[in-house]
Chains A and B, each alone.
Chain A
Amino acid sequence: MNTVAETRLTRPGSLEKNPRLSQWLRVHRDGTVSIYSGKVEIGQGILTALAQIAAEELGIAVERIRMVPADTAVSPDEGVTSGSLSIQDSGAALRRACAQARAVLLASAAARLAVSTRDVQVADGVVRAGGRSTSFWECADEALFDREIDDTAALRSPGDYRVVGKPTPRRDLPDKIAGQPRFIQDMALPGMLYGRIVRPPHNFAGLISLDDSKVKSMPGLAAIVRDGAFVGVLAEREDVAISVQRALRLAASWREADPPPRDVHAWLKEHAAEHRVISEKGNAGARSRATKTLEASFTKPYLSHASIGPSCAIARIDDGKLMVWSHSQGIFNLRRDLALALGMREDAVVVRHVEGAGCYGHNGADDAALDAALLARAAGGRPVQVQWMRDDEFAWAPCGPAMALNLRAALDAHGDIVDWEHELWSNGHSSRPGRGDSPALLAAWHLTSPHERPSAINMPLPAGAADRNAIPIYDFPNQRVVNHYVRAMPVRTSALRSLGAYANVFAIESFMDELAQAAGIDPIAFRLRHLKDPRGRAVMEAAARRAEWSRWKSTEGRGHGIGFARYKNMGAYCAAVAEVEVGRDVRVDRLILAVDVGLVINPDGVINQIEGGAIQSTSWTLKEQVKLGARGIASLGWEDYPILKFSEAPPVEVELASHPELPAVGAGEAAQGPTAAAIANAVAHALGLRVRDLPLTHERIAAAISQST
């Protein structure tokens, strides 16, 4: 898309919902500009990229930009910071808003200098004409921005970019590296009480009894709050809150819940509530050429977010108003469900975002906010900080859903795929707040008058959810893709980085290798003969070149593999090559990723996201699975849920395609599926046999070897 075409688009990104210029920025007399975005920093560096976009269109130094933390009282409602959409949603809106702001400021400055806007020179906000000067800062007037955003102002051409496209240091990192308070966990308000929630670290169907006689007289205990099966502790000291929480857990008697199924993947296949054909095309002539048919089943376990910092929130109720500080990904949606759960009016609730530890999807952040609000009702106007403990997070935060997949395909005599079928079984991939009649917040389901727990749902295609990336990007004459939706949830599930794309791409790309092998064709050549999309071909070829794919020398126990996808079939392109060594365990020696995100806002930011995504996907693929026992989730600490260590993290090389003329898309989730597939294919290449069940642990490999002999 060129810039001329783009200027004709009205209201891109989040402008549709937030059309006033004053919603997006304010210019200050001190030479700074406040930018209001509804998107939030979750460790991905978005505030830096958005500041670059704003500075670029305003034509000012990026240091002049102040990014205002998202706040329901002052920020535009941009929904949820998810789906690798912040650059598209907020970036596109800010680009247009800041271009118009610059035009408005220039007109005001020219009027002040009594000249035409054609006769002024402007640099970094200073406007000059005929020896006189003024500035954007002198012209700052709130009334100037009290107008609708339209498409009259010219956008800066990508060829002229000075800030966008340059590696830009993250604005939040200096504080974080210096150990300065920055996270919600670090906030300390005057008079703040420390709260903990007394939940058993397993499923339960109700609270039978709670004997608090032993802890009641504990010095420093401020209150024990009980509402139905919701129990919380307030204390003057944090260590006291923890001691009381632990004691009460032991003193409570819980009604047992139904155990989860023993074989989750078999259970999923038996419990689908809806069967939706999401893609179907037929060509009988091509199908009749089939000479060989392959079938395979793949599985992915439940995954935990496993952020290093468990969820946290602060709440204060004062004069009937609730103020909440949260690391939620969607502060407006959280506000809606808080009001619903607490029986308050939405306009009596304000939610302000404060940064938390790394967020990879819908974790416990929103739940902790309701926990804090419920305790704040008993705090007499004092603020309350609730910090989940490690086992709270593992036991109660939603998991990324388990999935089962069946694939079937037919080859003709030339080694071309003439028929393709893909079926998947999964719970929904989103149970985020703000979308249903009942609050999607944990504590709401445990109150004396409990709210109903909503089931996780799937967002519709083309982005999709369980079926994200289930429709192959390759060109097959016959194909059928079916999404079997399972509503009943033995384990609470919601969005985890890339949703269904991780499992779908793992399965599709594993199966492509199986078909290539059956056809006797090199895996990359095999993919290229089925792929027309030039940008897809380019990243695959770039990864192959960087990895010197064709010069691979096979040695005992070593293998290489490729994985490729375009995220959501409409976002970033990513091809990954993995080189592995299989001994007792799989060791990834090297990862090469080639990526095309269109226009790159912050090259180092994109590389950081791709490196991080690739390493996290390596961890999921080699090590991670939520363990289930009779009482639900049984992996409650790092000893039961190991993640990749420093000595296990592979070197990662990233190649970025340069397409400044193309729209910018997000990078945060592009690497998850391709990396998993590349590793699985490399393991199959090394072993000469395939493991189709994630994670690729020693036990899984040993089982695959024993089955094959």
Chain B
Amino acid sequence: MGERIQLTVNGAQREIEASSDTPLLYALRNDLALKGTRFGCGSGQCGACFVLIDGHPTPACDTPLWSVADKDIVTVEGLGAGGALHPLQTAFVAEQAAQCGYCTSGILISAAALLAKNPRPTEREVREALDRNLCRCGSHNRVVRAVLRAAQE
């Protein structure tokens, strides 16, 4: 029913069988069992499904597989080095920076991209970098504190 598609996910070569129009989100979640990237809106407006594609935070829900065949994809599961938590994740735990946690993966992806580009952001820069991510529980300030904390460490 599909074709064989090669993807580079979290540094590893993966092959799946799917239609090349399939959104990356479903390939990650269902074919590769990487459930940390989450469905929120299907139109790139909430940030719950953000992954890094060649370092850029990108909604996996409206990114077709054909467009990422030769790209470097990093999901929340691959943020830390060698299976350890990323410093952002450690800071999120320390700051208890979540309520329901559903939007957390996408926020971590945006924050990781920010820190890679700007290791010492101001609070305002953090907030602006996270404006594409929606949080409904109202954990915004804890999240901002956690990102600033990770940047300090």
Contacts and interface: CB of A to CB of B under 8 A. Distances in A.
Contacts of A358: 99-100, 102, 136-137
B46 A43 contact: no
Given A43-B137, A179-B77, A646-B133, A638 B96 contact: no
Contact of B93 (A173, A238, A357): A173
Interface residues of A, number: 62
A177 B137 contact: no
A637 B23 CA distance: 19
A355 B46 CA distance: 20
Contact of B99 (A43, A220, A651): A43
B21 to A, nearest CB: 8
A543 B144 CA distance: 24
B56 interface: no
Chain A interface secondary structure, helix, strand, loop or mixed?
loop
Nearest to B102: A357
A387 interface: yes
Contacts, number: 178
Interface stretch (A17-25, A289-297, A303-311): A303-311
A649 interface: yes
B19 interface: yes
Contacts of B127: 646-647, 649
A43 B100 contact: yes
A638 B133 contact: no
A631 B92 CA distance: 43
A173 B136 contact: no
Given A308-B136, A611-B141, A237 B18 contact: yes
Among B35, B37, B76, B127, max chain A CB count under 10 A is at B35
Contact of B75 (A179, A188, A194, A357): A179
Nearest to B65: A239
A173 B38 contact: no
Interface string B83-115: 001000100110011111111110010000000
Contacts of A76: none
Nearest to A390: B41
Contacts of A614: 138
A612 B99 contact: yes
Contacts of A173: 92-93, 96, 98, 101
Interface of B: 1, 18-19, 22-23, 26, 29-30, 33-43, 45-46, 48, 75-77, 79, 85, 89, 92-93, 96-105, 108, 124, 126-128, 130-131, 133-144
Given A179-B34, A239-B19, 20 more contacts: A43-B99, A43-B101, A44-B99, A177-B85, A177-B101, A178-B36, A178-B77, A183-B38, A185-B38, A185-B39, A186-B38, A308-B46, A309-B102, A356-B102, A358-B137, A612-B138, A615-B138, A638-B41, A645-B134, A649-B138
25 contacts: A43-B99, A43-B101, A170-B98, A177-B89, A177-B97, A177-B108, A178-B77, A179-B76, A183-B38, A185-B39, A188-B30, A237-B18, A308-B40, A309-B38, A357-B100, A359-B100, A608-B139, A611-B139, A612-B99, A612-B138, A613-B138, A616-B136, A639-B45, A646-B127, A651-B141
